[in-house]
Amino acid sequence: MLIFFASFSAGLASAAAVRHVQGRKQANNTRQDLRPGAVSPTGGRVDAARLAEAESEFQKGVTLLAEDRSAEAMEAFRRAAQLDPSDPRPHHGLGKIHAQLFLNDQAEAAYRKALEVDPSFRPSLESLAMLLYEKGKHEDAIAILQQLERDTPQDPFVWGELAINALALGKKAEATALLEKYRAAKPEDAWGHVHLGKAYADSGKLAEAEAEYRRSIELDRNLQIAQHWLSQLLVSTGRQVEAAQHAQIYRRMRQLSTDEQQIRMALQRNPDDLNGLVKLARVQFLLGKRKDCRSAVTRAKAIAPQDPRVVELEGMLEKGVPPPRDPSR
């Protein structure tokens, strides 16, 4: 257990870095990848009682992971994998946990294990492709994405992932064309606008880049990378005062992201810490993570339904009003 938490702590430096994948498709969402009630692709090699126990352990892992009880979720997924070796989902769940802890090598191994069990398991294919991008293995990521493209040629997710890998490889024209397709398919997606802006900026089209960055911020003011890249562009065009404003927003959001990771780390040690849950909910609200905030509030309410901070947080969620500054900060 000590090793588990030490590894989590070691990943905090990565949490503070600019993450180009912010806002990417639901393949990064563990609760959708590992949704309760998903059908296990098992065969007839395992008896019914063992299959039922495996499914029970898997669903337990999903619930625990949704409650940020990663260590317990990991054990549940491992038991499920042992009980039903023909189900890729527990391995995928382990990959998600490792990825959240910034243990990318272990995450990659878990996703590949899931794909050994079922080579067509799409959640692991998508997650592995995104992880390979993070690790700088762009050619390997592209190979997986091309496989996905053959199965679903009109999937904007694939266009977006192919585009950012192409951009990383210096293929600006290819990346731009793919991101323009992505924008046409998902015009309200801030992620698509900000990365198209980056493709334009890298190609020297600064006016077009600025327009895309600003549109991204209109759609999602909390998208950190949009604030960062717009600030850089404004500096390069001599508008330092406005650049400083966006840089300040970016630094604030980055600090909040670091705070969130630190609070989540503390909650791994004590998942029922009411003070920690209240702080987590406040930070997630300020980061625009309303669903995550609601989850933290629900957990806090189960512990202390009449606590005035919990009641305040519920009202805040209903009204969309930011909470007052935490006096402990």
In contact, 266 and 276? CB cutoff 8 Å: yes
CA distance 284 to 296: 9
Q: What is the mean pLDDT of the chain?
A: 85
Q: Which CATH number fits domain 24-153: 3.90.650.10, 1.25.40.10, 1.10.10.10, 1.20.1280.50?
A: 1.25.40.10
Handedness of CA 321, 322, 326, 327 (dihedral sign): negative
CA distance 43 to 302: 39
CA distance 285 to 293: 6
CA distance 67 to 69: 5
Helix (H) or strand (E) holding 154: none
Residue 12 CB neighbour total at 10 angstroms:
13
CA distance 8 to 12: 7
In contact, 124 and 111? CB cutoff 8 Å: yes
CA distance 216 to 224: 10
Q: Specify whether the backbone of 68 is left (phi greater than 0), alpha (psi in -120 to 50) or beta.
A: left
Does the structural domain 254-319 have CATH classification 1.25.40?
A: yes
Q: How confident is the model at residue 204 (pLDDT cuts 50, 70, 90)?
A: very high
Considering only CA atoms, give the Rg of the chain: 21
Same CATH fold, 254-319 and 24-153?
yes
In contact, 186 and 198? CB cutoff 8 Å: no
pLDDT digits (tens, 9 = 90+) for 136-194: 999 999 999 999 999 999 999 999 999 999 999 999 999 999 999 999 999 999 999 99
Report residue 28: phi and psi, to 5°.
Answer: -85, -5
- Of 164, 275, 271, 270, nearest to 225 (Cα)? 164
Residue located via tokens 């600006």: 172
Q: How confident is the model at residue 55 (pLDDT cuts 50, 70, 90)?
A: very high
pTM for the full predicted model: 0.78
What pLDDT is recorded for position 170?
A: 94
Largest CA distance in the chain: 70
Task: Give the start-to-end residue ranges of the domains of the chain.
Answer: 24-153, 254-319
Residue 65 CB neighbour total at 10 angstroms:
22
What pLDDT is recorded for position 110?
A: 97
What pLDDT is recorded for position 146?
A: 96
What pLDDT is recorded for position 33?
A: 59
